[in-house]
């Protein structure tokens, strides 16, 4: 009170009789100011609440932290987040800065006006001191601000937004002095693109400073999902959200720009594949908000160094020709300009992916910078540092093909040892075909990586080219030791490619391949044994497969091949999983993870993805869907890039089951369609049937019988014709028959199916395919339950529990939860279960009931969307369909993908998409599946 007495003696003001505090000045202190600079920004309806970050700010105020620094590049949501938080604060001053505010007097006028607006201080008094000062000192103004804030007592926050626009100078000193004397109830938040760090080391050390960076502001998966789905009524599943999040690296503006720039007729999945920094909306944003604001030297630096996947000061100086490269890097880092440190020592950096794509696209349009010269400089520097793998990429871009080929041959063994097949494939693909066909070694390397990526047709093409060279050498009688090596490796790769392509009869004929007992062939020997194991597993010769796996492990261990060792454990895990031996499968996974730890294998690598997918499948089987979901969601992008096809299929199927269980049937179906696209391109007919089996199961469970009917036809199964029951387990006929039985059990259940399913159960049991046997048993239980033959259903259910209880195989029963739940309760009442089985059934019942309860709301949503879809399909406009569109509809009803339709009709993929877009519009449906269903109902097409 004494302070205010002194102030009022010098500058009288009116007092309120009740609380003796100064009232607001009658003089409007904002007469010569732009008042909107002091207004908090509006928050739009699509804004996602950042509760975690808001809690950070709330906790900082409670802890008495005076200064909060919030710095990140443009578009990271700094202003929006602060506006959200400020809206919930009782006394919060906002000040949007611009370049003119570098003048300290102007800055203080606005600062004072902001505090006056919130009734924190009497602005007229502070203004009088500011206007009447006779020296460069602002001590009197600071004193009035500090003392007024202290007298106010309630918590006060001042937010300075866009601080990076100010020049470093007197304003900074005033702020530091203000913070030095600020009372405990005063807090300052400084937000901008640059890191405001001068002279705050002491405050940081004393715990009076909190920093929030771009890493903190990046959107999480949940936040991104909320943002995207708020603007897309049809909904987007988390797998696709994760892929877009990875591309934008959580950049908020990037996510928003993606939504704005997506063509309405393009699916979200297709859009994600093409989204980049070169898209017009993104490029315009980055150009106007970031690039054009930089000085010419910084612009040249960015355009020169954007060709580098990573860079340090020396590499940047070599490529850009700018000697002060380190100074520019430091400046870019301080401004947070989409640059990230790659190591703790701060030597290596990279650009944000979207920003780099924008720079590369801009570089393409620049005439002043010779790009070939940039790549040649990069090649020379990385080679001089013995960073050969990176040197290869730059040599190829520079057109230095001869040196690139030599380097590829040098690093091949090292690269495959860590499983980086995608990198090898990209290198070799950039080498002109005219060079490749003259280098047998390159043909071997290319076939090798394509085979391991599941691109079997392409691999076979290059194997055929290699064979031509070998045959030609034999005719010329020039088959020396080098050519003999090529011949042996050709045989080995032919076997592996046949096994990968699911051509098991051919692979069986190619076994065994004789290799020299030399260290150089150890990796190849391990690879052959793995392929042989896959062949034996496919033929249900599981013991022989285990022996091959043991031999493969020995050879890969001898070669110290990390990828080969983990790959072998993965083959072992799949072999055990195929038999339903879940705990044996888990043991293989545990051994692989322990091995990866010993070998320092990165958990972010393709090798890690190989073993994480079987792990997720086991977790799902043990009814841990959330853990399984998180694992697959994390590793699916790596699996799709480059991986064993069986692992890829397992990822798609397991994730689809989880999504279906979560009530996201449409997302599950979209995912399986992606899996089918991959399988179709590789012509893996057996795998295609198994994925169709899972898809048809989801379609039927969601009452989409028409779509299930069409899906059966797409894999050559006619619902009206029963596939022949083979006398022994057949890898192709068995799954086709199982698909047919599944459809009939749902749509046309009859007792004859019981006998057929019983025969299938016996065949799978005889061959040791216990996982498939259990699937058949559950289908039979469901059939008998529908036919009201409860006693027979209970008998088979009891038999299944004899198997599943030992392995904790709970997920088996979740395909038909309501039916199984009632049967399990009846089984308990019979009181013939052992103690362990009784516990298992009770635990299973509890889990199923919980799952059903959690799924009630989701089922309601599905039902509503289903009703909406039906309403949309009532009155399709079909009169304007052209003959070509009718033909496309006919092919769609066969379940054919766009590429196949294009080949059939002799038109491009884009033209097919255009026709489908027109069809969807005319039929008033959302997707091609609905279009095929409507066409069939209305008798459209030619079939």
Tell me which of 290-294, 622-626, 742-746 is least confident.
290-294
| pLDDT value of residue 274 | 78
Distance from the first to the final alpha carbon of the chain: 93
Q: Taking residues 386-392, report their average pLDDT.
A: 92
32: its two tokens = 């010569």
DSSP class per residue in 302-341: HHHHTT-SSB-HHHHHHHH--TTHHHHHHHHHHTT-SEEE
DSSP letter, residue 22:
B
Tell me which of 312-321, 889-898, 922-931 is least confident.
922-931
| pLDDT value of residue 886 | 76
pLDDT band at 197 (very low <50, low <70, confident <90, very high): low
pLDDT band at 267 (very low <50, low <70, confident <90, very high): confident
Helix H, strand E, coil C: the string for 341-357 is ECCCCCCCEEECHHHHH
880: its two tokens = 């304007």
CA atoms within 13 A on the CB side of 297: 13
More confident residue, 556 or 725: 556
768 and 540 Cβ atoms separated by less than 8 Å: yes
The pLDDT tens digits for 308-337 are 999 999 999 999 999 999 999 888 877 666
pLDDT band at 179 (very low <50, low <70, confident <90, very high): confident
774 and 782 Cβ atoms separated by less than 8 Å: no
6: its two tokens = 């002194």
- Other residues' Cβ atoms within 10 Å of the Cβ of residue 883: 8
The pLDDT tens digits for 203-218 are 555 557 888 888 888 8
208 and 65 Cβ atoms separated by less than 8 Å: yes
Query: Is residue 364 scored above 90 in pLDDT?
Result: no
712 and 700 Cβ atoms separated by less than 8 Å: no
- Choose among 135, 153, 29: nearest CA to 91: 153
Separation of alpha carbons 192 and 98, rounded Å: 11
Tell me which of 326-340, 624-638, 830-844, 858-872 is least confident.
858-872
907: its two tokens = 């038109």
Separation of alpha carbons 562 and 552, rounded Å: 12
Query: Is residue 861 scored above 50 in pLDDT?
Result: no
Q: Taking residues 116-131, report their average pLDDT.
A: 84
| pLDDT value of residue 249 | 80
772 Cα distance to chain centroid: 31
Coil, strand or helix at 276 = coil
790 and 823 Cβ atoms separated by less than 8 Å: yes
CB crowding 844-870: b at 16 or more within 10 Å, else e: bbebbeebeeeeeeeeeebeeeeeebe
Q: In Å, what is the CA distance from 605 to each residue of 117, 159, 244, 599, 710?
A: 55, 42, 19, 13, 38
pLDDT band at 899 (very low <50, low <70, confident <90, very high): confident
Q: Which pairs with CB-CB distance under 8 Å and at least 24 residues apart come from 404-411?
A: 404/430, 404/431, 405/431, 405/435, 405/439, 405/442, 407/383, 408/442, 408/445, 409/441, 409/442, 409/445
DSSP class per residue in 669-711: HHHHHHHHHHHHHHT-HHHHHHHHHHHHHHHHHTT-HHHHHHH
Coil, strand or helix at 271 = helix
Query: What count of residues does the chain have?
Result: 943
Give the residue carrying structure tokens 């590429």. Answer: 899
616 and 652 Cβ atoms separated by less than 8 Å: no
661: its two tokens = 């269980």
| pLDDT value of residue 938 | 57
Give the residue carrying structure tokens 């088996």. Answer: 812
Separation of alpha carbons 824 and 804, rounded Å: 14
The C-alpha angle with vertex 9 and arms to 6 and 14, in degrees rounded to 5, equals 105
More confident residue, 921 or 835: 835
Coil, strand or helix at 334 = helix
443 and 436 Cβ atoms separated by less than 8 Å: yes
Separation of alpha carbons 626 and 620, rounded Å: 8
Who contacts 782 (Cβ-Cβ below 8 Å, separation ≥6)?
745, 815, 816, 819
Separation of alpha carbons 926 and 932, rounded Å: 11
Query: Is residue 466 scored above 70 in pLDDT?
Result: yes
Separation of alpha carbons 647 and 643, rounded Å: 7
785: its two tokens = 């339950």
880 and 935 Cβ atoms separated by less than 8 Å: no
Query: What percent of the chain clears pLDDT 70, i.e. is strictly above it?
Result: 85
pLDDT band at 866 (very low <50, low <70, confident <90, very high): very low
pLDDT band at 591 (very low <50, low <70, confident <90, very high): very high
Coil, strand or helix at 69 = strand
Strand spans (E) along 339-424: 339-341, 349-351
């Amino acid at each position: 009170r004494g302070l205010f007495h002194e102030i009022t003696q010098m500058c009288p003001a009116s007092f309120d009789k009740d609380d003796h505090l100064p009232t607001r000045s009658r003089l409007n202190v904002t007469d010569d100011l732009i008042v909107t600079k002091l207004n908090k920004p509006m928050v739009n309806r699509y804004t996602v609440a950042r509760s975690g970050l808001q809690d950070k700010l709330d906790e900082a105020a409670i802890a008495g932290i005076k200064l909060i620094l919030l710095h990140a590049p443009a578009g990271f949501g700094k202003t929006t987040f602060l506006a959200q938080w400020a809206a919930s604060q009782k006394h919060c001053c906002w000040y949007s800065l611009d370049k003119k505010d570098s003048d300290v007097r102007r800055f203080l006028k606005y600062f004072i006006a902001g505090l006056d607006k919130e009734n924190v201080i009497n602005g007229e008094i502070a203004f009088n001191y500011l206007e009447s000062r006779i020296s460069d000192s602002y001590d009197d103004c600071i004193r009035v601000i500090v003392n007024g804030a202290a007298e106010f007592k309630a918590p006060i926050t001042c937010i300075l937004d866009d601080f990076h626009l100010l020049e470093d100078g007197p304003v900074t000193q005033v702020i530091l002095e203000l913070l030095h004397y600020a009372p405990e109830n005063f807090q300052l938040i400084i937000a901008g693109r640059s890191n405001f760090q001068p002279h705050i080391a002491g405050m940081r050390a004393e715990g009076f400073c909190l920093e929030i960076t771009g890493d903190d502001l990046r959107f999480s998966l949940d936040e991104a999902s909320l943002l995207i789905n708020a603007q897309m009524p049809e909904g987007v599943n988390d797998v696709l959200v994760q892929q877009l999040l990875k591309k934008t690296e959580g950049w908020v503006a990037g996510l928003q720009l993606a939504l704005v720039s997506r063509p309405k007729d393009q699916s979200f999945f297709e859009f994600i594949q093409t989204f980049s920094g070169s898209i017009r909306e993104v490029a315009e944003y980055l150009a106007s908000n970031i690039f054009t604001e930089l000085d010419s030297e910084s612009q040249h630096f960015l355009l020169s160094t954007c060709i580098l996947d990573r860079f340090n000061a020396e590499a940047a100086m070599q490529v850009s020709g700018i000697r002060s490269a380190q100074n520019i890097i430091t400046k870019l880092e301080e401004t947070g300009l989409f640059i990230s440190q790659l190591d703790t020592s701060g030597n290596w950096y990279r650009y944000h992916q979207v920003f780099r794509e924008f720079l590369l696209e801009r570089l393409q349009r620049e005439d002043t910078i010779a790009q070939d010269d940039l790549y040649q400089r990069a090649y020379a520097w990385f080679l001089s540092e013995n960073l050969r793998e990176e040197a290869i990429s730059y040599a190829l871009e520079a057109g230095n093909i001869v040196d690139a080929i030599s380097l590829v041959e040098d690093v091949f063994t090292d690269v495959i040892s860590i499983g980086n097949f995608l990198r090898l494939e990209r290198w070799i693909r950039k080498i002109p075909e005219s060079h490749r066909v003259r280098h047998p070694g390159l043909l071997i390397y290319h076939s090798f990586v394509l085979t391991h990526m599941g691109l079997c047709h392409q691999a076979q093409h290059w194997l055929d080219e290699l064979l031509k060279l070998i045959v030609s050498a034999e005719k010329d009688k020039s088959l020396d030791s080098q050519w003999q090596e090529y011949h042996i490796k050709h045989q080995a790769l032919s076997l592996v490619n046949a096994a990968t392509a699911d051509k098991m009869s051919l692979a069986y004929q190619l076994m065994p391949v004789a290799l020299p007992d030399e260290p150089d062939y150890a990796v190849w020997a391990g690879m052959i044994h793995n392929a042989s194991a896959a062949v034996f597993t496919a033929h249900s010769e599981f013991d022989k497969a285990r022996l091959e796996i043991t031999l493969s492990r020995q050879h890969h261990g001898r070669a110290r091949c990390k990828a080969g060792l983990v790959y072998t454990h993965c083959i072992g895990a799949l072999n055990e999983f195929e038999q339903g031996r879940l705990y044996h499968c888990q043991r293989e996974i545990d051994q692989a993870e322990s091995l990866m730890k010993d070998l320092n294998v990165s958990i972010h690598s393709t090798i890690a993805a190989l073993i994480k997918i079987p792990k997720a499948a086991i977790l799902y089987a043990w009814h841990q869907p959330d853990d399984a979901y998180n694992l697959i969601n994390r590793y699916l992008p790596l699996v799709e890039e480059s991986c064993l096809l069986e692992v890829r299929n397992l990822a798609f199927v397991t994730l689809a089951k989880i999504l279906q269980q979560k009530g996201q049937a449409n997302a599950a179906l979209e995912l399986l369609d992606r899996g089918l696209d991959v399988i179709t391109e590789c012509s893996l007919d057996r795998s295609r049937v198994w994925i169709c089996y899972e898809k048809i199961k989801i379609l039927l469970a969601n009452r989409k019988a028409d779509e299930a009917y069409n899906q059966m036809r797409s894999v050559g199964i006619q619902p009206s014709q029963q596939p022949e029951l083979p006398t022994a387990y057949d890898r192709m006929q068995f799954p086709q028959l199982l698909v047919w039985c599944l459809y009939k059990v749902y749509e046309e259940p009859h007792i004859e199916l019981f006998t057929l399913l019983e025969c299938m159960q016996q065949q799978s049991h005889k061959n040791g395919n216990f996982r498939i046997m259990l699937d058949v048993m559950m289908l039979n239980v469901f059939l008998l339950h529908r036919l009201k033959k409860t006693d027979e259903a209970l008998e088979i259910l009891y038999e299944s529990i004899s198997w599943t209880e030992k392995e904790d195989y709970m997920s088996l029963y979740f395909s038909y939860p309501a039916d199984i739940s009632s049967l399990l309760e009846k089984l308990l009442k019979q009181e013939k279960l052992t103690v362990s089985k009784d516990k298992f059934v009770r635990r299973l019942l509890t889990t199923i009931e919980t799952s059903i309860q959690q799924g009630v709301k989701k089922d309601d949503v599905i039902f509503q969307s289903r009703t909406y879809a039906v309403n949309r399909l009532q009155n399709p406009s079909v009169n304007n369909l052209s003959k070509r569109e009718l033909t496309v509809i006919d092919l769609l009803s066969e379940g054919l993908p766009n590429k196949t339709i294009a080949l059939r009709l002799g038109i491009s993929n884009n033209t097919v998409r255009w026709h489908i877009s027109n069809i969807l519009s005319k039929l008033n449906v959302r997707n091609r599946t609905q279009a095929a269903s409507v066409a069939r109902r209305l008798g459209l097409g030619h079939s």
